[in-house]
């Protein structure tokens, strides 16, 4: 979708629809006063969050439609309210097969940050995971272009429009990957998609195959893969800045392309959603695509261990013991706690390649959903400064992240009489013990773990977003790299 900036009057913009933001108790000054005052006085439209009023052929305007979109109380207006309103407008207009939509970016809330967020939210709101639908009537018509109207502004907002477009396109790229069914996106196919993206964006790409994984000694990763006919792959993408970087950021994304649970088989209900278990890997790939375009000053290497977890005749069993790349041994008490196994080996490999800081994104535990629901991503860390960097990036990009504990007390749950540690603790605090397991392989480098199991997809459509994958993490990870100060 094309995104551009217009510095003219909102009345002079030729578009299929112009969107004006409205607040409770405040008819928007840009819209025709006679129309808006009547809407407000009749209570037909009051400016409440995501409330809409669509007007046709407003007098004196070049646009075919005027859409008022509610943003709630003006004193509560923030990035989240802006994103929700813009996404809702995009979805409503897409349903009406609008091709060109323009948004009025008004003072006093207009800034580079809000303009970027406006473009992001529009492109994200217009997304539908309907690649495999064949009926044109049931397949959405994509928006062709979005314009930000900023009368009186300078050309400096053009960079914000471009940045918002980049981040949204890369997030939608991640959503496309997560939407793919497991028969069409095996570990090998995911590696092919990553290589094609890397070639397109100028990133270096290495695919480490099963033979090389055995030579390296990644016993934990290979143990998960051995039950599947599909061979595993470790995807490694590298971004090198123009000037030398002392810090080296490693991004690790869980890439289980389908998770049956292995021998510890999952219930059949909702198992179809386990094609989403590579959402962390997709987020990392989407972030790398954005990083390649934004060109930050820090070196970034991404790692996506791509594996299928199946209950085949060669599958690992509860009670098996594997030796990780670090040399530590792990007793596999539950084969459905597989993500932490593939990531443990990947953490060690990332450090061997010189990564000085690590962030991972993984649909790791159902326990994080119990703790935080589907609103916040859980964050765990061994380094408060590193976490602060990430939380600032997430706040700037409108992604909600909550700091979770990682005390030594939880180590008591990770003891095995047969190996250095088991791959699962007791029932309570499961998201924490999973993170504590990962910490054993992340130390000593500064590290943040993002458990996105509750935020990687939505089970129901929202007013501003389609049902399905969200692409969570892409913007935060890209922002973390872009704003990095050594």
Q: DSSP secondary-structure letter at 253?
A: E
Tell me what pLDDT residue 371 has: 97
Of the residues 73, 238, 266, 328, which is catalytic?
266
Of the residues 65, 83, 254, 340, which is catalytic?
340
Tell me what pLDDT residue 137 has: 77
Tell me what pLDDT residue 34 has: 82
Tell me what pLDDT residue 154 has: 81
Token pair 């981040």 in the structure block, residue: 167
Between the alpha carbon of residue 146 and those of residues 13, 161, 438, the distances in Å are 12, 10, 42
Tell me what pLDDT residue 420 has: 98
For strand 299-309 and strand 233-239, is the pairing parallel, antiparallel, or unpaired? antiparallel
Both tokens assigned to 35: 């129309």
One pLDDT digit (tens) per residue for the chain, 486 residues = 789 999 999 999 999 999 999 999 888 988 888 888 889 988 889 999 999 999 998 889 999 999 999 999 999 999 999 999 999 999 999 999 999 999 999 888 999 999 999 999 999 999 999 999 998 877 767 889 999 999 988 878 999 999 999 999 999 999 999 999 999 999 999 999 999 999 999 999 999 999 999 999 999 999 999 999 999 999 999 999 999 999 999 999 999 999 999 999 999 999 999 999 999 999 999 999 999 999 999 999 999 999 999 999 999 999 999 999 999 999 999 999 999 999 999 999 999 999 999 999 999 999 999 999 999 999 999 999 999 999 999 999 999 999 999 999 999 999 999 999 999 998 899 999 999 999 999 999 999 999 999 999 999 999 999 999 999 999 999 999 999 987
The pTM (predicted TM-score) of the whole model is 0.97
* Alpha-carbon span 389 to 4, nearest angstrom: 31
Asked if 8 is an active-site residue, the reply is: no
Tell me what pLDDT residue 187 has: 98
Between the alpha carbon of residue 269 and those of residues 49, 265, 273, the distances in Å are 34, 12, 9
Asked if 389 is an active-site residue, the reply is: no
Tell me what pLDDT residue 484 has: 97
Tell me what pLDDT residue 53 has: 95
* Alpha-carbon span 461 to 19, nearest angstrom: 22
Tell me what pLDDT residue 64 has: 96
Residue 58 CB-density burial (10 A; 0-12 exposed, 13-18 middle, 19+ buried): middle
Tell me what pLDDT residue 341 has: 98
* DSSP H or E segment with residue 205: strand 204-208
Tell me what pLDDT residue 33 has: 85
- Name which of 160, 176, 74 is nearest 124 in CA terms: 176
For strand 2-6 and strand 145-149, is the pairing parallel, antiparallel, or unpaired? parallel
* Alpha-carbon span 119 to 124, nearest angstrom: 9
Beta-sheet strands, E only, within 14-152: 17-22, 52-56, 65-70, 100-104, 145-149
């Amino acid at each position: 979708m094309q995104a551009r900036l217009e510095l003219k009057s909102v009345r002079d913009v030729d578009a299929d629809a112009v969107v004006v933001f409205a607040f409770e108790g405040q008819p928007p000054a840009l819209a025709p006063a006679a129309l808006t005052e009547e809407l407000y006085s009749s209570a037909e439209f009051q400016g409440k969050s995501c409330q809409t009023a669509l007007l046709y052929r407003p007098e004196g305007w070049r646009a075919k439609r005027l859409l008022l979109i509610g943003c709630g109380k003006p004193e509560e207006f923030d990035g989240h309210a802006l994103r929700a309103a813009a996404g809702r407008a995009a979805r409503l207009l897409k349903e009406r097969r609008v091709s060109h939509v323009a948004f009025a970016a008004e003072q006093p809330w207009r800034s580079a940050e809000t303009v970027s967020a406006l473009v992001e939210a529009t492109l994200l709101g217009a997304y539908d995971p309907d690649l495999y639908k064949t009926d044109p009537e049931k397949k959405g018509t994509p928006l062709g272009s979005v314009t930000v109207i900023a009368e009186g502004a300078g050309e400096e907002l053009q960079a914000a429009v471009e940045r918002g477009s980049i981040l949204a396109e890369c997030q939608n790229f991640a959503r496309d990957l997560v939407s793919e069914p497991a028969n069409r996106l095996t570990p090998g196919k995911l590696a092919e998609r990553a290589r094609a993206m890397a070639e397109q964006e100028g990133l270096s790409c290495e695919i480490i195959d099963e033979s090389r994984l055995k030579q390296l000694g990644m016993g934990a990763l290979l143990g998960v893969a051995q039950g599947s006919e599909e061979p595993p792959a470790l995807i490694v993408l590298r971004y090198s800045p123009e000037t030398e970087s002392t810090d080296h950021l490693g991004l690790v994304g869980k890439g289980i392309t389908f998770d049956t649970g292995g021998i510890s088989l999952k219930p059949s209900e909702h198992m179809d959603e386990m094609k989403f278990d590579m959402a962390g890997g997709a987020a990392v790939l989407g972030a790398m695509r954005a990083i390649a375009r934004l060109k930050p000053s820090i070196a970034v290497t991404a790692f996506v261990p791509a594996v299928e977890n199946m209950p085949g005749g060669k599958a690992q069993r509860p009670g098996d013991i594997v030796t990780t790349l670090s040399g530590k041994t792990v007793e596999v008490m539950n084969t459905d706690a597989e993500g932490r196994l593939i990531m443990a080996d990947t953490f060690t490999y990332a450090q061997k390649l010189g990564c000085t800081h690590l962030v991972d994104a993984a649909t790791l535990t159902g326990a994080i959903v119990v703790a935080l629901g589907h609103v916040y991503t859980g964050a765990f860390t061994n380094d408060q400064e590193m976490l602060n960097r990430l939380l600032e990036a997430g706040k700037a990009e409108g992604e909600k992240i909550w700091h979770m504990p990682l005390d030594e007390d939880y180590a008591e749950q990770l003891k095995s009489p047969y190996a250095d540690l088991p791959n699962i603790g007791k029932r309570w605090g499961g998201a924490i013990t999973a993170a504590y397991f990962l910490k054993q392989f992340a130390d000593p480098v500064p590290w943040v773990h993002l458990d996105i199991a509750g935020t990687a997809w939505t089970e129901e459509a929202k007013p501003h977003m389609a049902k399905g994958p969200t692409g969570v993490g892409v913007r935060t990870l890209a922002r973390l790299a872009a704003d990095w100060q050594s």
